[in-house]
Amino acid sequence: MAQATLHTNRLSLVPLADEHLQLEIELDSDPEVMRYITGRASSPEEVERAHRRRLAAADEVLGLGFWAGFADDDFVGWWILQPPNGPDQPKVAGEADLGYRLLRRHWHRGYASEGARKLIRHGFEDVGLNRIFAQTMAINAASRATMVAAGLRFTRAFVSGEPYDDPVPDAEQGEVEYEITRTTWQHRLR
Ligand SMILES: CC(C)(COP(=O)(O)OP(=O)(O)OC[C@H]1O[C@@H](n2cnc3c(N)ncnc32)[C@H](O)[C@@H]1OP(=O)(O)O)[C@@H](O)C(=O)NCCC(=O)NCCS
């Protein structure tokens, strides 16, 4: 199946496309949004390069990729359900990495977990995944709480092997990974 448009009560999750680039630039230009990702605002050029990588994520496994989320046509942020990538994510077939990044004005309204729950259902029911995981800096309380709200459970703490140009403040406290398996989801959350 190709990457689908998904709907929740309040959100339309649309496969990421070139028409979303300006929205991504707005999102990544807020240093508060980027605090636990790069520790600083991204330049438009950096976002454009990231946009190309985000689009490419949809080519690897049918049904996975990045989604731009809208509430009543208002851009909220993006969500990912993408194949494992990078040094911290072993390439295991049937697994995917969950993530989210929202404009600050939309925080604390339940949007991130609402979209995440939809992507988890999509991943298990439509794509046939066996395991969905999410990773963040240990000190990113909002991201960790969103993982729990979406039904994931802590599985490991680790030190990232990702090479960063500029060290992110508090990166020395390490990373965490949360997960949900298909079996757990079927028993607990359907
Ligand atoms: C992480 C992020 C997506 C959360 O978005 P959100 O829409 O505010 O999250 P939700 O409203 O769905 O909240 C989900 C849970 O997290 C909790 N939460 C949200 N922000 C929190 C914070 N700053 N500290 C502690 N808990 C927080 C909520 O109370 C809720 O818990 P509950 O279900 O027990 O009530 C948002 O803060 C963000 O975009 N941050 C910047 C980008 C980022 O760090 N992304 C993750 C990188 S791995």
Query: Which atom number of ligand 1 is nearest to the Cα of residue 149?
Result: 33
**How many angstroms separate the CA atoms of 56 and 117, rounded?**
23
How does pLDDT run along the chain (190 residues), one tens digit per residue? 678 999 999 999 999 999 999 999 999 999 999 999 999 999 999 999 999 999 999 999 999 999 999 999 999 999 999 999 999 999 999 999 999 999 999 999 999 999 999 999 999 999 999 999 999 999 999 999 999 999 999 999 999 888 766 677 777 889 999 999 999 999 985 5
Which residue has its alpha carbon closest to ligand 1 atom 11? 110
Q: Is 178 in the pocket of ligand 1 (CB under 6 A)?
A: no
Look at residue 153 and give its three-state secondary structure: strand
Tell whether pTM > 0.85. yes
Q: Is 140 in the pocket of ligand 1 (CB under 6 A)?
A: yes
Look at residue 95 and give its three-state secondary structure: strand
149: part of which helix (H) or strand (E)? helix 141-149
Q: Is 144 in the pocket of ligand 1 (CB under 6 A)?
A: no
Please, what's the largest Cα pairwise distance for the chain?
A: 45
pLDDT value, residue 161? 85
Query: Which atom number of ligand 1 is nearest to the Cα of residue 137?
Result: 48
Q: Is 142 in the pocket of ligand 1 (CB under 6 A)?
A: yes
Question: Strands 131-137, 153-158: parallel, antiparallel or unpaired by DSSP?
Answer: unpaired
Between the CA of 136 and the centroid of ligand 1 the distance, in Å, is: 12
Instruction: Answer yes or no: are the C-beta atoms of 74 and 49 closer than 8 Å.
Output: no
Between the CA of 8 and the centroid of ligand 1 the distance, in Å, is: 18
Instruction: Answer yes or no: are the C-beta atoms of 92 and 133 closer than 8 Å.
Output: no
Question: Strands 131-137, 95-102: parallel, antiparallel or unpaired by DSSP?
Answer: parallel
Between the CA of 62 and the centroid of ligand 1 the distance, in Å, is: 28
Cα–Cα distances (Å) from 35 to 30, 31, 156, 169, in that order, read 9, 6, 22, 8
In the CATH hierarchy, which fold is given to the domain comprising 9-188?
A: Aminopeptidase (3.40.630)
Query: Which atom number of ligand 1 is nearest to the Cα of residue 136?
Result: 48
Between the CA of 18 and the centroid of ligand 1 the distance, in Å, is: 27
pLDDT value, residue 90? 95
pLDDT value, residue 189? 58
Instruction: Answer yes or no: are the C-beta atoms of 132 and 81 closer than 8 Å.
Output: yes
Instruction: Answer yes or no: are the C-beta atoms of 145 and 41 closer than 8 Å.
Output: no
**How many angstroms separate the CA atoms of 86 and 117, rounded?**
24
Which residue has its alpha carbon closest to ligand 1 atom 27? 142
